[in-house]
């Protein structure tokens, strides 16, 4: 880890991301009737919140070290529309020098749409290469 103290300094704060999901691959599209509603899928929401978490710690990926999601949970509480602004509130906790826990909420039009928790783990690219070539 390049700077564990700098990483720990990110804890204890709430980070807010406001974004408008405009990638149609995030849309719920399991059937045509659902697809025409223009709603974000649960997996789409996961991709968004994982990306928000990544943006907070990406600068710590150095010298062949990357962070991967190793545990995730999302409660999709109410529908959220694609192409309308959402707000992701997220905080993080450094569990140790390798695992970072994120938790937070997703709002749209001041309505709670989802709550989530996930853990990102720093691993070496060499470890990943060895794991897939075994």
Average pLDDT over residues 21-49: 93
Domain boundaries, the chain: 4-133
Per DSSP, helices labelled H in 1-134 are 4-8, 32-35, 42-57, 125-133
Of residues 43 and 1, more confidently modeled: 43
Percent of the chain with pLDDT over 90: 77
Architecture of domain 4-133: Roll (3.10)
- Between the alpha carbon of residue 76 and those of residues 31, 73, 105, 107, 128, the distances in Å are 19, 10, 10, 11, 31
pLDDT per position as a tens digit, 97-125: 899 999 999 999 999 999 999 999 999 99
């Amino acid at each position: 880890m390049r700077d564990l103290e700098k990483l720990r300094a990110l804890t204890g704060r709430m980070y807010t991301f406001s974004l408008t999901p405009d990638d149609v691959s995030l849309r719920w599209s399991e059937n045509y009737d659902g697809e025409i509603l223009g709603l974000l899928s649960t997996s789409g929401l996961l991709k968004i919140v994982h990306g928000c978490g990544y943006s907070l710690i990406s600068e710590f990926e150095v010298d062949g070290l990357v962070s991967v999601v190793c545990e995730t949970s999302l409660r999709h509480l109410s529908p959220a529309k694609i192409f309308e602004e959402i707000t992701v509130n997220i905080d993080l906790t450094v569990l140790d020098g390798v695992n970072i826990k994120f938790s937070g909420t997703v709002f749209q039009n001041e309505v709670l749409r989802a709550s989530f928790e996930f853990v990102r783990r720093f691993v070496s690219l060499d470890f990943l290469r060895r794991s897939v070539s075994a």
